Amino acid sequence: MEKKISFIHCADIHMDASFQSMGRDIFARERRRDLKRTLEDIVSLVLKSNTDFLVVSGDLYEHQYITRSTIQWINEQFSRLCNKPVIIVTGNHDPCVKNSWYRIYPWNTNVHILTTNNPVYMDEELNVLFYGIGFDTFRQDQLPAMKIPELSPDMYNLCLFHGTIDMAFTQYPYNPVGSKELIEMGFDYYAAGHFHERNETLAKEGIINSGSPEPLGFDEQGEHGVYRVCLNKRQGMLQREYGFIPLQQRKYCEFNLDVGELESDTQVKAKLDKFLKTYNYKRDIARVNLTGRLFPGYKIDTKGLEQELEGVCFFTKLADNTRPGYILEELIKEKDISGVFAAKMQERISKAQGEEKRILEKALYLGLEALFEGKVIL
């Protein structure tokens, strides 16, 4: 066998995801458009790189939210590939349930959907066997009972897998399997999906989790995209080549911004305006954690500031992690417990140095918070 094969491996696109947690309809609509742009880019990449086929390892769409019009649009995208095969395994968000679009929609002839009842697709022209381990329900606590096909060393044998690998779950497992069990099946490459963070730790064994090509939340920071994979068999020896290709439309970012000692929303807004220049605020999705001790008596109007940023940023969420400030000189004059506590601590702080002084200063403010707020936020 001398002919190489190449393919684009992606997973977890989640077309028509709701994005409800962000609480803004305009944001959700634009993010669903981003998912479409990402799929368009994936199809274009298959054409531009002239790879042999496209592999989708589960969760292509959200069964709960997907519309027929979006399914039709997806099918139109796949039709751009003409005769290049699109191989899909079902995931836990798009399982092959009774009313699944995988069952009831007339997909293009180049689209091949692998299910528990129909897990194998043979591409005679490319000499490739595809085998899918996916979902027939939204929850599968164990792998479905399936018979692994007989694998020929004269063919390329690919397994599309959606689930969890090498993870100990006491509850809510999703197709759990050990990497050793997968490897012993004997496939040349395992196109894994389910977790949205890409993972190459088992790449030498032929197992790669591609992650989500478009991030879906603040827990999915960093670069996202797809993998281009090439396989070559020579004289019984398999060579694997792979490379990650970033494709995401936007990034999720999280920052800390110290607004300590500020005393008005105007001042905070001015500091935010300067801070916006440190990242691509018109494209990316940011959560800014406001930190520091504020001027006594001042509380930030985060909702009002977010509304002011709506016309400037694509989406920036503010989290108020600030602490109340105290005028110690005035507190010490008081004869109540807070005044006595502040005076005693200040006396100790004045005699301390280095790390001890820092710890005592922190203890002072934590103690005051306990006295005034009735709780301590560490």
Residue 375 amino acid letter:
K
Q: Which of 180, 214, 246 is the last residue of a domain?
A: 246
Indicate whether 262 and 128 sit together in one domain: no
Indicate whether 275 and 313 sit together in one domain: yes
Q: How many CA atoms lie within 13 A of 276 on its CB side?
A: 20
Indicate whether 229 and 354 sit together in one domain: no
Task: Render pLDDT for 172-201 as a digit per residue (tens, 0 to 9).
Answer: 578 889 999 999 999 999 999 999 999 999
Instruction: Supply the pLDDT for residue 220.
Output: 96
Instruction: Supply the pLDDT for residue 378.
Output: 59
Residues of the chain with pLDDT under 70: 1-2, 169-172, 376-378
Instruction: Supply the pLDDT for residue 331.
Output: 78
Instruction: Supply the pLDDT for residue 338.
Output: 84
Which structural domain, as residue segments, surrounds residue 343? 328-373
Indicate whether 134 and 271 sit together in one domain: no
377 is written with which tokens?
């936020």
Indicate whether 215 and 272 sit together in one domain: no
Residue 89 belongs to domain with CATH number: 3.60.21.10
Q: Which of 246, 270, 285 is the last residue of a domain?
A: 246
Rounded CA gap, 164 and 278, in Å?
37
The verdict on residue 176 lying in a domain is yes
Instruction: Supply the pLDDT for residue 78.
Output: 98
Q: Which of 223, 246, 269 is the last residue of a domain?
A: 246
User: What do you get for the CA distance between the two ends of the chain, in Å?
Assistant: 63
Instruction: Supply the pLDDT for residue 48.
Output: 97
| pTM given for the model | 0.86
217 is written with which tokens?
């939340």
The verdict on residue 19 lying in a domain is yes
Indicate whether 303 and 220 sit together in one domain: no
Indicate whether 220 and 349 sit together in one domain: no
The verdict on residue 378 lying in a domain is no
Indicate whether 332 and 314 sit together in one domain: no
The count of structural domains within the chain is: 3
Indicate whether 124 and 265 sit together in one domain: no
The verdict on residue 262 lying in a domain is yes
